[in-house]
Every structure is written in C-alpha cells, then in structure tokens.
Amino acid sequence: MPSAAPLAAHPQTAPLSALLDQTADAVAAVRAGRSLTDALGRCPPALRAGTQALAFHVLRWWGSATAARALMAPKAPPPNVEALLVSALALLWPGSEPPYAEHTLVDQCVAAARRRTPAAANFINAVLRRFLRERDTLVAAAMHAPEGAFNHPAWWIERVRQDWPAQWTSLLAAANRHPPMVLRVNARRGTAAAYVQRLAAQGHAASVVGQQAVLLGKPCPVSELPGFAEGEVSVQDLSAQRAAPLLLGLDGAAAAPGLPPGARVLDACAAPGGKTAHLLELADLDVLALDSDPQRLTRVQDTLHRLHLHARLQVGDGRRPQDWWDGRPFDAILLDAPCTASGIVRRHPDVRWLRRPDDVAALARMQAELLDALWPLLAPGGRLLYATCSIFHAEGRYQIDAFLQRHAADKPLLDAHSPGHLLGLPDNGQPMTAASTQGDGFFYALIHKP
C-alpha cells in the first residue's frame, strides 16, 4: 500500500460526512483484525484516496483518542459507533495537524452518525462537544496511559522499551510521523542526479540521498513521476534500497566481493518485487524469485514487466526446498523474511493495532525455519543476506545469534560490517542528517559460507 501524503494534499472531492463514514468502516475493520489495505479495497473508488488519508491519520492517533473516549464514556459503545467517535476525536487531537475546522468536523461526524447509527448521533455530538470544551484537561489525563501517550499497544511499547532503552521514546515518536517518499532510479536507465533535474523541470523539488536514491520534497502520485510507467524509476525506502548492494558486494559497508555475471541468486520471499528488481537493475544475474503466495508473485511479475527486467518466478515455501529446488546451489540468497513490520509502521499505521504479542514469537520461529532450510542451498563461498523490516531484537540480532550457534559446525561468518539494526533515527549511523530523510527500521545480516 502506498504511503499516504499529508491530509492537506488530498483535495476534498466528496462530502466530509461520507469520508468519515468510510473511514469509520476502515478502522473498524482494522480493529476487527483485517488489514487497512483490504479495508480500503472495499471502499468506493471515488472516496478511496480521501478515506486512506483520514484512516492513516486516525490510526496514528488511535491510542490517544481511545484513552480520551474512555475518560468521557467509560463503557465502550458498539464497535461501529466507537469507530466513528474515536475517528473524530483523533482528527480533533491537538498537534495532529487537524485537516478540518473543528465545527465542520463535529457537524459532519454527527451527519455521518445519523446515517450509520441514528440512535447514537446525539451521544456522539455530546461527547465531541465536551471534548472541545475540556480538551486541555482530557488530553493531559489521556497521556497518563501508555497507549494514550505513545499511540501503540501497551505490549508493543514495552517491547520497544526493553529492546532499545536509550531510544524507545524516539522510536515510538518517529513511527507516528509522515514518512518521506523516496525513489530508486533504475541504474540501467539513468542517474539520481539526472532524475532530480527532470523532476525540477516538472516542478517537483527533490534531492539525491543515495547512489540511486532520490528524496521527494513532497509526496505525489506515481503517475506524476516522469518515466515511471516506462520503468525509469520506482518507489522504495532508503533502508530497503540497501539490500541489493549489500548482497552484490556493492555496498562499501560490507566486505563481500562482487558477484560474477550470471551468478545464481535466490530471492526467497520476493513479493512484491522491489528488491528482486533492484538486483537486476544493478547486475546481470540468474535470479529465481520465490514466494509462497501466487497472487503476490503476480505483483513481482508486474514490477519486472514495468522495468523491462526478467527473473524466473516460482511459487513455493522457502521452508520446503524439496518442493521447488532443482538441486543446483545458489551463489547468493536474499531472505527478506516475513516479520512483524515493526520498522515500517509509519507507512502502515494499522500494523501496530493488528499485531498481537504472540505474533513476534511465531514469526521468529518461521524466520529460523527459513534460515535453516535455505542455508544448505548456498554454494561454498556464497553469501546469504537476512533482512527484516523490524526493530525487534527477536527478529534481528537475537535471530542471527541463534542461527550462528545452531550452525557453528559449518563455520558461517557474519560479515563484520553488516548493518545490523537500522532504526531510522539520525544517530543510528545512517547517511542522512535530518530525521525526515531517514530510512525505515530494518535489520540486515550478511553471512558468508566458507
């Protein structure tokens, strides 16, 4: 799902009450366990962009707004009423860049309530008007609860605090900011510097922030990017853009030599295909793109088609090589493993509310199974790059420490210059200097096979 631009970037093309109605449905779906992407897919196309912008905003402030609702109405209303009421409170929250005038928001929320839950319209009106009258007091009280203060589930807050005792508050705050829109210029088609000039000619401010990376001054639809349809540029976060150079030995931070032309490379969890494409943009390789989901693998093919690149695509579970492997070892393996996505919640604010505490351990087990199953497929002298878009130690440093111990007899070598955890903070060794240009939270470990 693309990152939402600031709310002001979305002109209102429909009555606000209709957008609030759709937003309430979307966040109710998230609270019921469905992804926001799925919920937005059910939204009428004409309302989808505005609904996405409002839903992103609401989910970033859901913890604070829910804490305030509990102070004013201790007994939680039915889910469909709660979704609309808390959405309005989130949009009225101070410091959250409210997109509409207060009286307009309240009036339109009540209008939406009269259509969706007529019996609750007066209740919603009373709660919202009380919030405006007593906002300073209610906000201060709501901040006493962890979820109200940090807008993440309490278990998530505690895990971040334990993993990163010196940075935990900064990490939680960063997860609530709007993400930058970063582009990857196709190295076969041009340079980052030349693309910045093309953007400037079309009125888009941008700057070079990496070898092929361009930071847009303001997010925009991909249809406005020159050459996007022709495969000249893709959208990919700075941290995600480190994967291909690391595996190929083109990242100066790691000691891996370059791969020879035609090297056999496995992208073990390839969808949606951004890293697969980046590998092929940088080198002539024999790439097998594997994914267990046929529909997601179709997205890989679409990505490669747009970029005029080719890889062999295979449906299969990386944990069961016997079902898909032809027996020929790989020179390099990229394992961008399924994870909690705790490093990219600024782009997907629903993730924090969808995850459950048990998910961390379950996903860590899957990651370990993938590592153990894929390691034997690597040729002697080859390298495996393990990656997750997570800031949790269980999916990063602890996972690799355990892998190295399990396979000590094989003498795997962790590249001393592996990036490890990237936190997306200015003091985390990233090449940027401003928080707004930091990459997402990621973990990378490059492992060599003797």
Q: Which sequence positions are flagged as catalytic? A: 389
Task: Tell me how long the chain is.
Answer: 450
Helix (H, G, I), strand (E, B) or coil at 386: strand
**What separation, in Å, do the N-terminal and C-terminal C-alpha atoms of the chain show?**
39
- How many CA atoms, within 13 angstroms, populate the side-chain half-sphere of residue 281? 29
The Cα angle at residue 256 between residues 253 and 258, in degrees rounded to 5: 110
What is the C-alpha to C-alpha distance for residues 31 and 28, in angstroms, rounded to an integer? 5
Q: Rounded distance, CA 260 to CA 248, Å?
A: 9
Decide if 403 contacts 409 (C-beta within 8 A): no
Question: Residue 61 corresponds to which tokens in the numbers above?
Answer: 């402030």
Q: Are strands 206-208 and 330-336 parallel, antiparallel or unpaired?
A: unpaired
User: If you count DSSP H runs as helices and E runs as strands, how many of each does the chain have, helices first?
Assistant: 18, 12
Q: Cα–Cα distance between 37 and 169 in angstroms, integer? A: 28
Please state the separation of Cα 265 from the chain's center in Å: 25
Q: How many C-beta atoms lie closer than 10 Å to residue 316's C-beta?
A: 17
Angle between helices 62-72 and 135-142 (to 10 degrees): 110
Residue 128 CB neighbour total at 10 angstroms: 22
CA dist 367 and 399 (Å) reads: 8
Amino acid, single-letter form, for residue 331: D
Which ranges of 100-227 does DSSP label H, i.e. alpha helix? 102-116, 121-133, 135-142, 146-150, 154-163, 168-174, 192-201
What is the C-alpha separation between 129 and 120, in angstroms, rounded?
A: 14
- 225: CB partners within 8 A, 6+ apart: 183, 199, 233
Provide the b/e sequence for 101-111 (b: ≥16 CB within 10 Å): eeeebbbbbbb
Q: Is 257 helix (H, G, I), strand (E, B) or coil?
A: coil
d(CA 243, CA 251): 9
CB 291 within 8 A of CB 297: yes
